[in-house]
Structure 1
Amino acid sequence: MKINNIDIENRTQPYLIAEIGVNYFDIAEQRGISPIAAAKEMVREAATAGVDAVKFQSYSADQLASKNSPAYWDTSEESTESQYELFAQYDDFGEAEFEEIATWTAENHDVDFLSTPFDFHAVEYLEDLVPAYKIASADITNHPLLRQIAQKEKPVLLSTGASTIGEIDQAVRVIEDEVEDPEICLLHCILQYPTDPENANLGMINHLDEVYPEYMIGYSDHVPPDDGMVTLLNSVVNGAEVIEKHFTLDKSLEGNDHYHAMDPEDVRTFRENVDHLSVTTGRSKKEPISAETDSREYARRSLVAATEIKPGEAITREQLAIKRPGTGISPTMLDTIVGRKAREQIALDSILTWDLV
């Protein structure tokens, strides 16, 4: 998969998406600035911290949820009991606003602009703004929306939260039916806000990789970040090549997606940890490396004379010890040496070499 000519597979770092979502509305209120200014500030901070892409959410509450849609998140963190009421608070941005942010991002920062479309209209106006489409877990069974997105023939990042393999199969087939050789990344995801660490199930990344070897696998995370960003690092260990994580400038803000988001410092910590992981992972073929040359020679053992051995004397097992360094005859040759004759006088504690026997 390539996004804006970035070859994601051949990188030491995963393609990291800062999911700004609609968090800029709360940042705007906190700082007394406009939502557009807050959105740009969040893009700037995310880009400076080192993400590859910033992602927003494009929706209309009227198109997304009925007025009778109950909450599915932790209401002790986000107290709104209705999906419609929550989404209606954050749907002021439309085509013009996202076009402004996308243009400003491209002109000022080397990161990709992405936004998840939640309706047909959003798919259309985002076409000229995004290099790839991200599809939310909740829309994996929304085949009409998947079909429309697939027809744009751009890379697709498909979250698989709360999905069975059968549902993922059906979604993948919908995309495959619309475009030849699609570029798809399946994101493991747990659709719980926030996700309890014991529910992260990052081992599912391996299962997705086994079932869909032809497609890229990634991870969309909702676990509250720890100081070392271990959850995200573990997803890399398990094979995630694309990572999406909610992003904020203040994790203490109440409501919506701040309480399980990463901030700029978390991004830096994660990037540093992945660099260290990459350095220590090294190459995959098991073989001695140059740094072990001296160790192979001096830390291993040789056959050593346990007594003086006279010229012409047949060497017995009792006359041999096994000691460091490994510069002489290897102990693997013990049975071969026993019974052979000494060519010359061999002093006590001498390292046996082939010219002595």
Structure 2
Amino acid sequence: MKINGTTIDDPKDPYLIAEIGVNHFDIAEKHEIPPLDAAKKMVTEAAEAGVDAVKFQSYSADRLASKQSPAYWDTEEESTETQYELFEQYDDFGRDEFEEIARWTHENHDIDFLSTPFDFEAVDYLEDLVPAYKIASADITNHPLIRHIAQKEKPILLSTGASTIGEIDDAVQVIEEETPDPELALLHCILQYPTDPENANLGMIHHLDQVYPEYTAGYSDHVPPDENMNTLLNSIFHGAQVIEKHFTLDKSLKGNDHYHAMDERDTQIFCENLRILNTTTGIFRKKPINVEHDSRKHARRSLVAAKKLDEGEKITREDISIKRPGTGISPEMIEILIGRSTQSKVRKDEIITWDKVL
């Protein structure tokens, strides 16, 4: 698939999305700066760390959740008891703010601006701002919203957390009905905040790739970062070509999505480890490479005279040793050599070549 001219088809070069989400509100409060300034600061940090895109969340608490909607996250990390109460704290941004962030991102950084819309109004005002739409796992059965997004005929990133293959099939069918041959990525995701490492189930990425080979497979991660960012690296091993990970400037902040997010250092570590991984991965077709040229000649073996051989002497197995280097007759030709006669004298321990035999 392509997003804003970027082709996503190299298993060694995933499209990395830093999901700022609504974390900029907490950063703004901590640093006592306006939320817009905090959002821009986070965009800059993410861009400099090496991401391909930043992503926000566009929603209104009133249109997203009822006041009775219970929490589904770890309340020891995020103590808010209802979804409405949590979302209400972070829904101050609308069309004007996202237009400002999108414009500022494009003017200052060579990365994409994305946002997940959670209602029809957000879909519409984001249309001119984003090169692709992200659909959250929780909306995979929200066919009216999916259909409205698909009608925009932009690339779609669809998270599949807590979904059956049947539910994914239904969502994909809705998209295909509105957009023939869609640009679509299906992101494996576990809808647990945070996700315990043993629940990550990255092998499911393979299953998505097998069931939907015509679409791109990816991963949306909620596992708290380890010091080497092994979960994200492992997702590459399992075929993720799009990676989405929550992003923060302070992992110690309580609440919302800071406690399972990566920061700028984590992002740099992942990008550097991915570079090293790619360096050692190399090509996918087995063949000798240039640096093995001398080794092929000198570390392999040849057929060598085990004793002095006179001209016209018939060669027996006892007359032959197998020694390095490999510049003479290969050991795999030994049965062809046995029984032939020498055409000239061959010294003991001399490499036998075809011009010395009849």
Aligned runs of 1:27-176 on 2, under 5 Å?
Answer: 27-176=27-176
Match of 1:243 in 2: 243
Deviation at residue 11 of structure 1 after TM alignment: 8.1
Q: TM-score by structure 1 length? A: 0.97
Instruction: Output one character per residue of 1:278-314: Cα deviation in whole Å (capped at 9) or x when no partner.
Output: 2222222221111111011000001111222222222
* Residue type at the aligned position of 2:161: G
Q: TM-score by structure 2 length? A: 0.96
Match of 2:219 in 1: 219
Contact 1:13 1:271 in 2 (8 A): no
1:292 aligns to 2:288 (yes or no): no
1:301 aligns to 2:295 (yes or no): no
Once residues 254 and 325 of structure 2 are traced to their aligned partners in structure 1, the CA distance between those partners, rounded to angstroms, is 65
Once residues 318 and 199 of structure 1 are traced to their aligned partners in structure 2, the CA distance between those partners, rounded to angstroms, is 63
Contact 1:22 1:90 in 2 (8 A): yes
Once residues 111 and 333 of structure 2 are traced to their aligned partners in structure 1, the CA distance between those partners, rounded to angstroms, is 61
Once residues 215 and 223 of structure 1 are traced to their aligned partners in structure 2, the CA distance between those partners, rounded to angstroms, is 25
Once residues 11 and 240 of structure 1 are traced to their aligned partners in structure 2, the CA distance between those partners, rounded to angstroms, is 7
Once residues 44 and 109 of structure 2 are traced to their aligned partners in structure 1, the CA distance between those partners, rounded to angstroms, is 7
Once residues 257 and 99 of structure 2 are traced to their aligned partners in structure 1, the CA distance between those partners, rounded to angstroms, is 23
Deviates more, 1:19-28 or 1:190-199: 190-199
Deviation at residue 13 of structure 1 after TM alignment: 2.3
Aligned runs of 1:178-197 on 2, under 5 Å?
Answer: 178-197=178-197
* Residue type at the aligned position of 1:159: S
Gap runs ≥5 in structure 1 = none
Once residues 48 and 344 of structure 2 are traced to their aligned partners in structure 1, the CA distance between those partners, rounded to angstroms, is 73
Deviation at residue 147 of structure 1 after TM alignment: 0.5
Instruction: Output one character per residue of 1:148-187: Cα deviation in whole Å (capped at 9) or x when no partner.
Output: 0001111100001111111111000001111222111111
Once residues 234 and 27 of structure 1 are traced to their aligned partners in structure 2, the CA distance between those partners, rounded to angstroms, is 30
Identical amino acids, percent of aligned pairs: 73
Contact 1:133 1:155 in 2 (8 A): yes
* Residue type at the aligned position of 1:44: T
* Residue type at the aligned position of 2:313: E
* Residue type at the aligned position of 1:140: I
Once residues 30 and 286 of structure 2 are traced to their aligned partners in structure 1, the CA distance between those partners, rounded to angstroms, is 54
Once residues 38 and 179 of structure 1 are traced to their aligned partners in structure 2, the CA distance between those partners, rounded to angstroms, is 36
Deviation at residue 239 of structure 1 after TM alignment: 1.7
Deviation at residue 343 of structure 1 after TM alignment: 2.0
Match of 1:346 in 2: 346
1:333 aligns to 2:333 (yes or no): yes
Match of 1:204 in 2: 204
* Residue type at the aligned position of 1:14: P
Contact 2:137 2:191 in 1 (8 A): yes
Gap runs ≥5 in structure 2 = none
Match of 1:356 in 2: 356
Instruction: Output one character per residue of 1:188-214: Cα deviation in whole Å (capped at 9) or x when no partner.
Output: 111111111121111211111111111
Once residues 237 and 253 of structure 1 are traced to their aligned partners in structure 2, the CA distance between those partners, rounded to angstroms, is 31
Once residues 211 and 264 of structure 1 are traced to their aligned partners in structure 2, the CA distance between those partners, rounded to angstroms, is 35
Deviates more, 1:232-241 or 1:115-124: 232-241
Contact 2:12 2:236 in 1 (8 A): no
Once residues 284 and 16 of structure 1 are traced to their aligned partners in structure 2, the CA distance between those partners, rounded to angstroms, is 23
Deviation at residue 10 of structure 1 after TM alignment: 5.1
SS in 1 for 2:304: strand
Once residues 113 and 278 of structure 2 are traced to their aligned partners in structure 1, the CA distance between those partners, rounded to angstroms, is 27
Number of matched residues? Answer: 357
Contact 1:185 1:216 in 2 (8 A): yes
Instruction: Output one character per residue of 1:329-348: Cα deviation in whole Å (capped at 9) or x when no partner.
Output: 11001111112222222221
